[in-house]
Chains A and B, each alone.
Chain A
Amino acid sequence: EVVLTQSPDFQSVAPKEKLTITCRASQSVGTSLHWYQQKPGEAPKLLIKYGSQSLSGVPSRFSGSGSETDFTLTISSLEAEDAAMYYCHQTTDSPNTFGQGTKLEIK
């Protein structure tokens, strides 16, 4: 199965700063890599699909890039409400798999 490794595991960042989270796949997943945000007590929320496609209603400060094995999620100008866990998720291969998650704390 495809193993997704995210880095960092944890990041503490001040408001208005920029954060980049990376997701590396153990084999190519093409562009079928998606990003989710999850806040405590809530279900995951889809932020970016197919590596770089934004979704309606998601703030423009969230963007994604990458293909094959290397992907990034960038949050520009962080806000307090961005404190959450972030996960990458591949759907190219069965079983679908998730990264281990990145916890974002806002200072």
Chain B
Amino acid sequence: EVQLVQSGAEVRRPGESLTISCETSGYTFITYFLTWVRQVPGIGLEWLGHINPTDSFTEYAPSFEGRVTLSVDKSTRTAFLQLSSLRASDSGTYYCARRDSILTGQDLWGQGTRVTVS
């Protein structure tokens, strides 16, 4: 089955860091970019960045630059999001999603990981 399965909910204190994983299956891992999107009630959907698993090329949203790091482990077909210096406004649901090119939409999404910073 083609799917993205994310790690479970996280609770952190302000100033701490977190790592969310996104385990992929059912497709050729290196042929799709992996994108990370955050959803905050009242704010909507925010794009954090994406990574090309072939060469680990990354692109980050300027508002998260310096705090976010995307990576992949090709041996386990897993993508990772690290977010540091957490603040209360980082609370929300984080999604990984795949796209087959840098310009297309995301056709498959993980189930989401709820993050609470308090």
A binding-site residues for B, Cβ under 8 Å: 1, 32, 34-36, 43-46, 49-50, 55, 87, 89, 91-92, 94-101
Q: Contacts A43-B109, A95-B61: A34 and B44 contacting too (C-beta < 8 A)? A: no
Measured CB to CB, the closest approach of chain A to B3, in angstroms, equals 11
Would you call A44 and B62 a contact (CB within 8 A)? no
Q: Contacts A43-B110, A95-B61, A95-B62: A101 and B44 contacting too (C-beta < 8 A)? A: yes
Does B116 sit within 8 A of A, measured CB to CB? no
Does B112 sit within 8 A of A, measured CB to CB? yes
Identify whether the interface residues of A are mostly helix, strand, loop, or mixed: loop
Would you call A98 and B63 a contact (CB within 8 A)? no
Closest Cβ neighbor of B6 among chain A residues: A43
A35 to B104, CA, bound (A): 11
Q: Which listed residue, B46, B47, B105, touches A36 by the CB 8 Å rule?
A: B105
A95 to B112, CA, bound (A): 21
Would you call B107 and A98 a contact (CB within 8 A)? no
Chain A residues with CB under 8 Å of B44's CB are 87, 98-101
Closest Cβ neighbor of A33 among chain B residues: B105
Would you call A43 and B95 a contact (CB within 8 A)? yes
Residues 18-43 of B, flagged 1 when their CB comes within 8 A of A and 0 if not, give: 00000000000000000101000000
Would you call B112 and A55 a contact (CB within 8 A)? no
Would you call B106 and A46 a contact (CB within 8 A)? yes
Chain B residues with CB under 8 Å of A91's CB are 99, 102-105
Chain A residues with CB under 8 Å of B105's CB are 34-36, 46, 49-50, 89, 91
